[in-house]
Structure 1
């Protein structure tokens, strides 16, 4: 990228850091490449469209189009933030199986929106805390870092995957403290990429 833009690698890194700080980019995770790993970023379209200059140009273009056609233009359709990132981001299964209503409650789609339920970070936290209360695990509170990690997981996994991950914790007593160290699973363990994948795949299931 630095070669294509005729600038230094440090300039690119500083620019990316600035975009992250301004909320225009989100770090989505790592991807393996021949030389090791590369970090993937997603563009936060809502934040980009809210920039004064971008918003000004968009409104001016809309007014110009309306004058040309002589017709009133329809309102701009809002892009779903969960699917509006740059190409290369893993997409959620467009036809996930419906989860049990008692496990994860999802937000009902808008009238003209997609049929798929919308999963939000608060839904996952609520489902975790409901499960934790049943089996005596520590409840969790939402933080900025946890919300960021949840958004990353939501973009990559379906509602069914989240349901399976939570049920895996609930059905394995060794995650409740019944182990030689007295260790118990918590919400931060649940959010770790490696842990979450194993929970979804059932790799943590052990014989009684």
Structure 2
């Protein structure tokens, strides 16, 4: 799918996200595990959805494909209550490491050996519905080809930081058991709940 990675496509994606957030982003590149799969970028919206929060989106996951996705691509989104601009880069680093290997399905738990961000012990994410309201339809990044609009649908999957013990709890008890526990999904400095 890297053949459809163009500046126009990336521009359309940023325009859609900008219109949803009402904020101009900070964009940074993240080095992918495999060269040749296209870029991986973190698109960070400071103060979104409100002051004291930061929201990030990935760009680059939708350049790959997976049988679970059908005709749609996927990108990840994270929202945390923090002023640390490292948090919006976490999903992009996960995509850079696992793109082409992992399906990135809702309910999936992914982890790393080290904490994602200095000062927080969280080293895992759980995937679910995105925190930021994006509407029920996927984003359409499609462009024109020979005068005809070609759809390029991208579903946004939410990424929520969790602790190692919570990742192990999800592995042993399932996503629903973890998701039903009472925990602040936006606090990357909270104590473990499992």
Please indicate the TM-score interval, normalised by the length of the shorter structure. under 0.3
Structure ranking higher in helix proportion: 1
- TM norm structure 2: 0.24
- TM norm structure 1: 0.23
Structure ranking higher in strand proportion: 2
Greater relative contact order, per chain length (Cα 8 Å cut-off, separation 6+) = 2
